[in-house]
């Protein structure tokens, strides 16, 4: 029975690249200086959380269900169960550095048995490159590698600038988790291994081309990194010794359901050669995937197709076998100019990844570094795999499942070019809250109802802080979307309701990033009940709780200086994954859904979002003109 409770608790494993509200400033000082002085994540007051919880249910459940939940909450708060679990949580908060982070890592990632591909690993699409030949691809990849190594130097010397939000330093721990780390599958729970912790630091990256993996040493014996030219020469050697396209795609095994991959993994590493090859991939600083060209498509479809390629590789016959999806960081450089990355989400959220992307893109824009003297470098080691009939069967099964996943994922990237965050600033509205209200309006117009909406927010103001959720669907957002659809309403009234909804969203955001969110507090109370081995409180078995946790809209703002697109899969079978990057004069929005759900359609939702944004701009401008 406990297993049922655990699985129910882990349905909350909804993890998306997170956002930080307002802009983050970087101050050049040692990044660990403030780490010890960071406050601990608080446990919010019990009564406050349940007042907010009931308010969040109003727009998404029936009056009858809400009345039933009110009784359950009253019982939970007055019957002593709530207080007992709250005290347990407070004890845990006193004893640990962060009461939530370990539980969150387990429930959102390591216990989650869905494939990391599409379901939890986000992709990033970088601006398209126009390579005229494969030397262009190699040159780009070499500069990219050099840029990441330059970033790594700041990590190694702890000179990474500290990030500040509202004058407060943020936890920088996640930056130290993204290099030389890898997820390891287990039969029931995965683990993450970080190879920077130890006596000997890793000095190689892995490069994969035509499904063949290579170890590329990126440091000389004196500890200095290889130059761009030297990396380029090594990549040429790799390319020339992996021209065969008939190799078994070992990497595709990592795209499987975690239990399936856990068993296949144990089977794969029974062989000593295979075990050594797998360890070399896991220990590498990061992976570079040199992708084969994909079928040509129109410019209109380009971003959507490449977003899908970053998430899953395009299918077994394309580049899905050219990956090791368990690796934290995989940079993708296609022969056809497509480039970006995919990252395994367990060690870190979006902001450290995006900071790294911005840093590397800026590094690559520098003029070519001075030519270096050519010293003879050893041939990069090709990793060997012995493919037994059993491993071959596992690969065939993985190919089939991956292709099903590829056909099921519906991706639409909306490059919204009419305006960006400067418009909302002119009207003194929060750009993030404005975009969230557009999602609410788009959804309401398509389905004539509201749904539970998840927006990720960062808890990095606290030591080892990860994320919490902003509930973007509120009574105020509901009133606004209803008014927009009611022809009897005047624009002045609609604008007032929009301003109220935006204000409410800003207040919620402030509370969440200051450790007063409700989603993770509820998860904590639930996990505490599981740890105490007591019966699960009825509020967590309630229909309202199931509705609140079924996030049809899973959203995240990932602000990047680079004009890139981040994307991730939906959180539920009948939902949408929506990731957006608001720039000054345009907004990049990636929308995903599943084709297996008849009710959802990424392109239709993208059109509804575009219409909503334009109608909301018209509302702002019409009322401004009327005032004049």
Query: 3-state class of 557 per DSSP?
Result: strand
**Number of residues that this document lists for the chain:** 628
Q: Cβ–Cβ contacts within 10 Å for residue 325, how many?
A: 27
pLDDT of residue 23: 56
Superfamily of domain 121-408: Choline/Carnitine o-acyltransferase, domain 2 (3.30.559.70)
Q: Say whether 345 is catalytic.
A: yes
Superfamily of domain 50-103+417-627: Chloramphenicol acetyltransferase-like domain (3.30.559.10)
To 10 degrees, what angle do helices 63-78 and 81-95 make? 70
Task: Check: CB of residue 446 under 8 Å from CB of residue 605.
Answer: yes
pTM: 0.93
CA distance 57 to 593: 24
Residue tagged 């899908």 (tokens): 308
Gap between the terminal Cα atoms of the chain: 66
CA distance 424 to 435: 9
CA distance 141 to 231: 9
pLDDT of residue 21: 45
| 103 CB-near residues (< 8 Å, 6+ apart) | 523, 524, 527
To 10 degrees, what angle do helices 63-78 and 46-57 make? 170
Query: 3-state class of 74 per DSSP?
Result: helix
Residue among 285, 278, 253 at smallest CA distance from 383: 278
CA distance 291 to 126: 15
With vertex at residue 220, the alpha carbon angle to CA 216 and CA 222, rounded to the nearest 5 degrees, is: 150
Exposure letters 254-280 (e unless 16+ CB within 10 A, then b): bbbebebbbebbebbeebeebeebbeb
Query: 3-state class of 511 per DSSP?
Result: helix
CA distance 154 to 151: 6
Give just the sign of the alpha carbon dihedral 245, 145, 307, 255.
positive
pLDDT of residue 628: 59
CA distance 211 to 289: 9
Q: Cβ–Cβ contacts within 10 Å for residue 558, how many?
A: 29
Give just the sign of the alpha carbon dihedral 437, 439, 444, 446.
positive
pLDDT of residue 79: 86
Helix, strand, coil fractions of the chain, as percent rounded to 5:
45, 15, 40
Give just the sign of the alpha carbon dihedral 283, 286, 289, 290.
negative
Task: Check: CB of residue 313 under 8 Å from CB of residue 241.
Answer: no
CA distance 608 to 9: 33
Q: Looking at 312, 345, 427, 505, which residue is catalytic?
A: 345
CA distance 137 to 289: 11
Residues of the chain with pLDDT under 50: 1-15, 17, 19-22
Dihedral, CA of residue 180, residue 186, residue 188 and residue 190, to nearest 10: 0
Give just the sign of the alpha carbon dihedral 584, 451, 515, 11.
negative
* Tens digits of residue pLDDT in 387-396: 999 999 999 9
Are 50-103+417-627 and 121-408 in the same CATH fold? yes
Residue tagged 């105020």 (tokens): 476
- The ranges assigned to domains in the chain are 50-103+417-627, 121-408
Exposure letters 21-56 (e unless 16+ CB within 10 A, then b): beebeeeeeebeebbeebebbebbebeebbebbeeb
pLDDT of residue 6: 32
Give just the sign of the alpha carbon dihedral 472, 473, 475, 476.
positive
CA distance 340 to 59: 38
CA distance 501 to 490: 17
For residue 408, is it left (φ>0), alpha (ψ between -120 and 50) or beta? alpha
pLDDT of residue 512: 97
pLDDT of residue 524: 97
Task: Check: CB of residue 345 under 8 Å from CB of residue 9.
Answer: no
pLDDT of residue 231: 96
């Amino acid at each position: 029975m406990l297993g049922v409770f655990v699985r129910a608790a882990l349905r909350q494993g909804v993890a998306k690249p997170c956002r930080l509200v307002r802009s983050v400033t970087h101050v050049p000082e040692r990044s660990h200086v403030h780490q010890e002085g960071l406050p601990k994540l608080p446990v919010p007051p019990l009564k406050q959380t349940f007042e907010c919880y009931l308010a969040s249910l109003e727009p998404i459940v029936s009056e009858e269900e809400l009345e039933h939940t009110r009784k359950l909450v009253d019982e939970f708060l007055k019957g002593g169960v709530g207080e007992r679990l709250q005290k347990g949580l407070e004890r845990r908060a006193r004893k640990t550095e962060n009461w939530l982070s370990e539980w969150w890592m387990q429930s959102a990632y390591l216990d989650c048995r869905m494939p990391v591909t599409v379901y939890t690993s986000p992709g990033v699409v970088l601006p398209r490159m126009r390579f005229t030949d494969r030397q262009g691809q190699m040159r780009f990849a070499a500069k990219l590698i050099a840029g990441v190594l330059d970033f790594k130097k700041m990590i190694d010397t702890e000179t990474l600038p500290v990030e500040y939000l509202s004058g407060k330093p943020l936890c920088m721990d996640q930056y130290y988790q993204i290099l030389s780390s890898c997820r390891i599958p287990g039969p029931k729970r995965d683990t993450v291994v970080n190879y920077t912790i130890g006596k000997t630091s890793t000095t190689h990256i892995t490069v994969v081309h035509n499904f063949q993996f290579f170890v590329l040493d990126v440091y000389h014996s004196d500890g200095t990194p290889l130059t761009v030219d030297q990396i380029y020469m090594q990549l040429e050697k790799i390319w020339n010794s992996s021209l065969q396209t008939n190799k078994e795609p070992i990497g595709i095994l990592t795209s499987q359901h975690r239990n399936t991959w856990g068993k296949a993994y144990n089977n794969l590493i029974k062989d000593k050669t295979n075990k050594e090859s797998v360890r070399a991939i896991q220990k590498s600083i990061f992976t570079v995937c040199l992708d084969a060209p994909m079928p040509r498509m129109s410019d209109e479809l380009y971003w959507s197709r490449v977003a899908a390629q970053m998430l899953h590789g395009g299918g077994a016959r394309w580049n899905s076998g050219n990956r090791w999806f368990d690796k934290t960081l995989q940079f993708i450089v296609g022969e056809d100019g497509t480039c970006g990355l995919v990252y395994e989400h367990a060690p870190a959220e979006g902001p450290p990844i995006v900071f790294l992307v911005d840093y590397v893109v800026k590094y690559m824009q520098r003029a070519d570094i001075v030519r270096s003297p050519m010293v003879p470098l050893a041939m990069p080691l090709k990793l060997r795999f012995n493919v037994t009939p059993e491993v071959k069967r596992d690969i065939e099964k993985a190919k089939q499942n991956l292709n099903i996943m590829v056909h099921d994922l519906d991706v639409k990237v909306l490059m919204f070019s009419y305006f960006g965050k400067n418009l909302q600033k002119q009207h003194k509205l929060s750009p993030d809250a404005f975009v969230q209200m557009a999602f609410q309006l788009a959804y309401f117009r398509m389905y004539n109802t509201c749904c539970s909406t998840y927006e990720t927010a960062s808890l990095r103001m606290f030591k080892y802080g990860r994320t919490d959720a902003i509930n973007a669907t509120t009574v105020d957002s509901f009133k606004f979307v209803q008014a927009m659809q009611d022809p009897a309403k005047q624009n002045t009234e609609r604008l007032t309701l929009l301003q109220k909804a935006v204000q409410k969203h800003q207040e919620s955001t402030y509370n969440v990033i200051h450790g007063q969110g409700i989603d993770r507090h509820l998860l904590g109370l639930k996990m505490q009940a599981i740890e105490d081995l007591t019966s699960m409180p009825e509020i967590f078995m309630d229909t309202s709780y199931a509705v609140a946790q079924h996030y049809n809209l899973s959203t995240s703002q990932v602000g990047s200086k680079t004009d890139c697109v981040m994307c991730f899969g939906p959180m539920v079978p009948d939902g949408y994954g929506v990731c957006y990057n608001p720039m000054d004069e345009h907004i990049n929005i990636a929308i995903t859904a599943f084709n297996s759900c008849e009710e959802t359609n990424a392109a239709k939702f993208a059109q509804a979002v575009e219409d909503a944004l334009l109608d909301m701009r018209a509302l702002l401008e019409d009322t401004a003109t009327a005032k004049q």
